Amino acid sequence: MRIVYGPIKSLGLGKVVAVDPISRSPKVCTLNCVYCRLGRGGMMLLDRTAFIDCSSLMDQVGECLYREECETVMFKGTGEPLLASNIFDMARRLRDGSDKKVALLTNCTLLKDPQVLGQLDAFDIIIAKLDAASEETFQAVNRPHPSLRFQDVLEGIRSARERFDGSFRIQITLVRENLSEVDDLSQLCREICPDYVYLNCPEGCDPFHMVSRKDMQAAMDRFFGIRCVSSNAKE
């Protein structure tokens, strides 16, 4: 399984080189989101471990770091990237070995861990996922590990925003199950004050969960006064 691949298109970042510090099939994650592009199932866990070694990453990264069309390397996994206990070492090696910015796409479930919070400076950009404004919607949309609670995840996001000196961004994936919380989500974003908000419409998930262009535009309108970027909604 490829650890490094791309360039791929990423909402808000253009073309990126992607790094998967999990590199497992089926996925390994703390959530089992209804819209996950990796499908249902896989392993759900909270304990962090090393899935690949840093030398494997550097062996594969090769010419990807020198592709001019890509300005950013983004860690996104076959699961939650922060489950990889050596991700910070990987990120620092990439920063030391190139002039690319290094980004992390995280579902935020591990941001409450002091060992995680204390090492976020390994990244230039953090994209924090926030799909719910309540425990009920968190359970319905993100389907978390049984020990996870929404308020703990939200507290982790707030702590990361306060401590991280780089560009902090929020990604919200809109599905039918969280459309009713758009106003609450926009209010949370105003309180957290991210540099950008990305409104994302999932691809390849069950059509039952998809939102329309009209719904997407109506949601965008609720984020007035916030720097917000939207993907194209499916009809």
pLDDT value at residue 140:
96
By CB atoms closer than 10 A (0-12, 13-18, 19+), residue 37 is exposed
pLDDT value of residue 235: 38
166, part of any domain: yes
Phi, psi of 80 (to 5 degrees): -85, 115
Closest CA to 74 of 28, 8, 25, 129: 8
**Domain hosting residue 179, numbered range:** 4-230
- In 21-143, alpha helices (H): 54-61, 87-97, 114-117, 135-137
Q: What is the pLDDT along the chain (235 residues), one digit of tens a residue?
A: 678 887 888 888 888 989 999 998 889 999 999 999 887 778 999 999 999 988 877 777 766 666 667 889 999 989 999 999 999 999 999 888 888 899 999 999 999 999 999 999 999 999 999 999 999 999 999 999 999 999 999 999 999 999 999 999 999 999 999 999 999 999 999 999 999 999 998 876 677 788 888 999 999 999 998 999 887 644 3
pLDDT of 44 reads 92
Can you give the pLDDT at residue 149?
Answer: 97
Is 49 a domain residue?
Answer: yes
Query: Hey, which residues does 198 pair with through a beta bridge?
Result: 171, 229
* pTM, entire model: 0.93
pLDDT of residue 66: 67
Name the residue type at position 79: G
- Answer whether residue 235 is part of any domain: no
pLDDT value for 180: 95
Q: For residue 129, is it within any domain?
A: yes
Residue 124 lies in a domain: yes
| CATH classification at residue 26 | 3.20.20.70
Residue 168 lies in a domain: yes
**pLDDT value for 208:** 79
Burial class from Cβ neighbours inside 10 Å (0-12, 13-18, 19+) for residue 162 reads: exposed
Length of the chain: 235
Predicted local distance difference test score (pLDDT) of residue 205: 66
